[in-house]
Structure formats: C-alpha cells, structure tokens
C-alpha cells in the first residue's frame, strides 16, 4: 500500500463511486417513485399532480384490455419460461456429451440471442404469415389442405409470440447451463456409472439438482424478459389481432403514449414493477438468508 493510498483513507473510493450512485438513485429509483406518484394522480395528456388515490388502479383493473393483457402475460410467461428453460437445458446436456461439431452447433444455437427482438419478431411474422410464410410454402409444395393461421387467429396468436420468444432465448439458457455443466467433475459421472446408473438418470438425479444456483439465476433473467416483453410483440403482432396479444408493456405504451392517459399507463407500469419485485425479492431474500 502506497503512502498516497494510506493518506487518502476510506473517503477516496466513496468519492469515486458517489457520482454514479447519485445518478442511479435519481434516474432509476427517483423516476420509479415519480411514476408511482403519477399512477395515483389525475394525469392524462400531461402530468397532473392532483392526487386521486387508487382511482387509476381501479380503472386499470376494470379495463377489459388490461385484463386480457394480464391473462396473456400468464400464458406467455409460463410457456416462454418453461419452453426456453426446457429447450435450453436439453441442448446443454446434449452438447455436454462433446459431440462432433460442437463449436458449430453451439454457434447455431446461440445465434438467435445475437439479434434483437425486433428482428426476431419481424422474421417470424414473415414465416407465420399465411400469405407469405409456412402455409403459403406448403400450398406451393402441393399440400393444399395445410393450414397454419395462428398469427391471424385471436385465440392462437399469443402462442406465435411464445414460439418466437423461445427460439430467441433458448440459446441463452443453453449457454448458461453448458458453462455450469463444464464445471462438473467428470469423476462424479464415472462413479455413478460404476454403480450402474444410466446417463439420463445421472443428469436428472445428480447433475441438474447440483445446478440449483444456475437454475434460479436463469429463471430470474428469463422471467424478467417475459414480464417486460414489448419489442417482440410490437414487431410480430403489434398487440393484435385487435388486442388479443396485448401484454402489460404494450398496454402501457398504448395508453401512456398514444392515447394520452399517462396516469393509467403509469399504473400499468407500477403493476409490472410489482410483478418483477414479486419474483426478485423472494430470490434475493433466500440468497441472503443462505449466506447468513
């Protein structure tokens, strides 16, 4: 330790960190607090600071479009999280067998994560469009009775968003689990095989349970992606047909920025924040409790 470092004391690191800490406090938590107040104000086209209590939240939950958005979030969230994690884990286990061409396969699986959700939504919109994509291709190949009109079917369109989302995120999950699997000692697998355990049984009962921290970290990230999904929906369906594929993020955008209902949009954003907190806070609490 140099004389300069000793003489500076503990205040120098704090001084260096202070600007970024204050900016984060202002532009993250300060704006979150401001949004929370707007959600309890009479704001419409412009902010109006007249306090109206929970009136915006009552209007929000009375809004049929928001109720559809919450149902869609439940459907999309469960299928997207389950699909991305399920496909990602399976791909990671398969690649962990050190198959030939692993580098190429890993690149192919990771490629979707390298592009934005806007590009993903646009590409899948072309592929799932009945007049341009898969259905049109099958008709050209002679399968005239083939039909795949989910994109324009209000009851099935949300599943198109799920398909595109899983395709985009499964590679990310695979990368996380593959990195964790490569950290497992091979002697564990060899010892289990000596005891007569099959390879699927070893992964299911021994290897994957030992990856609990990776599982929860990945679940946290993928859940966050599901709750704040906006660009994928806007590029793929724009919330349609009608508002059949609306999610809380697209509902917030539509009401806060295109319909001049800032208070209602702020209430929707606060509900999204509460949903994220309901996932993050228990996880952080369990992690801190485990460290203690």
* Count of the separate structural domains present in the chain: 1
Mean pLDDT of 6-11: 62
Residue 14 lies in a domain: no
Counting residues of the chain whose pLDDT is more than 70, the rounded percentage is 95
Residue 171 lies in a domain: yes
Mean pLDDT of 171-183: 90
Mean pLDDT of 236-244: 90
- Start-to-end CA distance of the chain, whole Å, equals 31
Please, are residues 229 and 245 in contact by the beta-carbon 8 Å criterion? no
Residue at token pair 């660009």: 231
Mean pLDDT of 107-131: 89
pLDDT higher than 70, residue 4: no
Residue 109 lies in a domain: yes
pLDDT higher than 90, residue 205: no
Mean pLDDT of 264-287: 85
pLDDT band at 47 (very low <50, low <70, confident <90, very high): confident
Residue 159 lies in a domain: yes
Contacts of 4 (CB under 8 A, 6+ apart): none
Contacts of 155 (CB under 8 A, 6+ apart): 244
pLDDT higher than 60, residue 8: no
Q: Quote the pLDDT of residue 6.
A: 54
Residue 59 lies in a domain: no
User: What does the alpha-carbon distance between residue 135 and residue 149 come to, in Å, rounded to a whole number?
Assistant: 8
Mean pLDDT of 181-202: 83
Q: Quote the pLDDT of residue 105.
A: 86
Most confident of 77-86, 106-115, 147-156, 198-207: 77-86
- As given in the structure block, the two tokens for residue 224 are 């966050």
Q: Quote the pLDDT of residue 133.
A: 86
Q: Quote the pLDDT of residue 283.
A: 75
Q: Quote the pLDDT of residue 235.
A: 93
- As given in the structure block, the two tokens for residue 243 are 């508002």
Residue 278 lies in domain: 65-291
Residue 122 lies in a domain: yes
CATH number at residue 255: 1.10.3720.10
Q: What is the DSSP string of the chain?
A: --HHHHHHTTHHHHHHHHHHHHHHIIIIIIHHHHHHHHTTB--SSS----B-TTHHHHHHHH-HHHHHHHHHHHHHHHHHHHHHHHHHHHHHHHHTT--TTHHHHHHHHHGGGGS-HHHHHHHHHHHH-TTTSHHHHHHHTT-TT----GGG-TTTHHHHHHHHHHHHHHHHHHHHHHHHHTTS-HHHHHHHHHTT--HHHHIIIIIGGGGHHHHHHHHHHHHHHHHT--HHHHHHTTT-STTTT--HHHHHHIIIIIS--HHHHHHHHHHHHHHHHHHHHHHHHHHHHHH-
pLDDT tens figures, 62-76:
999 999 999 999 999
Please, are residues 77 and 169 in contact by the beta-carbon 8 Å criterion? no
Longest C-alpha distance within the chain, in Å?
Answer: 83
Q: Quote the pLDDT of residue 101.
A: 81
pLDDT tens figures, 132-159:
888 888 989 988 888 888 999 999 999 9
pLDDT tens figures, 216-234:
889 888 998 898 899 999 9
Q: Quote the pLDDT of residue 40.
A: 92
- As given in the structure block, the two tokens for residue 118 are 């806007």
Residue 58 lies in a domain: no
Residue 273 lies in a domain: yes
pLDDT band at 7 (very low <50, low <70, confident <90, very high): low
Most confident of 38-42, 161-165, 284-288: 161-165
Phi, psi of 255 (to 5 degrees): -85, -35
Q: Quote the pLDDT of residue 119.
A: 92
Q: Quote the pLDDT of residue 191.
A: 84
Write down the pTM of the prediction: 0.85
């Amino acid at each position: 330790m140099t004389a300069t470092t000793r003489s500076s004391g503990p205040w120098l690191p704090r001084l260096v960190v202070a600007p970024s800490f204050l900016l984060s406090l202002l532009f993250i938590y300060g704006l979150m607090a401001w949004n929370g107040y707007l959600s309890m104000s009479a704001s419409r086209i412009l902010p109006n600071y007249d306090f109206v209590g929970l009136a915006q939240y009552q209007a929000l939950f009375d809004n049929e479009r928001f109720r559809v958005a919450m149902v869609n979030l439940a459907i999309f969230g469960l299928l997207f999280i389950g699909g991305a994690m399920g496909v990602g884990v399976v791909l990671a286990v398969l690649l962990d067998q050190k198959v030939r061409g692993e580098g190429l396969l890993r690149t192919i699986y990771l490629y979707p994560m390298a592009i934005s959700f806007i590009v993903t939504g646009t590409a899948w919109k072309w592929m799932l469009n009945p007049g341009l994509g898969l259905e049109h291709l099958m008709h050209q190949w002679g399968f005239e009775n083939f039909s795949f009109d989910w994109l324009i079917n209000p009851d099935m369109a949300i599943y198109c968003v799920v398909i595109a989302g899983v395709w985009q995120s499964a590679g990310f999950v695979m990368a996380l689990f593959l990195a964790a699997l490569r950290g497992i000692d091979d002697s564990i697998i060899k010892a289990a095989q000596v005891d007569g355990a099959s390879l699927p049984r070893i992964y299911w009962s021994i290897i994957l349970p030992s990856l609990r921290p990776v599982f929860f970290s990945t679940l946290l990230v993928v859940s966050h992606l599901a709750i704040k999904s906006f660009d994928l929906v806007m590029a793929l369906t724009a919330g349609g047909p009608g508002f059949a594929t609306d999610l809380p993020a697209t509902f917030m955008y539509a009401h806060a920025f295109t319909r001049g209902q800032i208070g209602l949009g702020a209430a929707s954003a606060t509900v999204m924040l509460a949903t994220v907190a309901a996932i993050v806070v228990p996880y952080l609490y369990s992690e801190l409790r485990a460290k203690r």
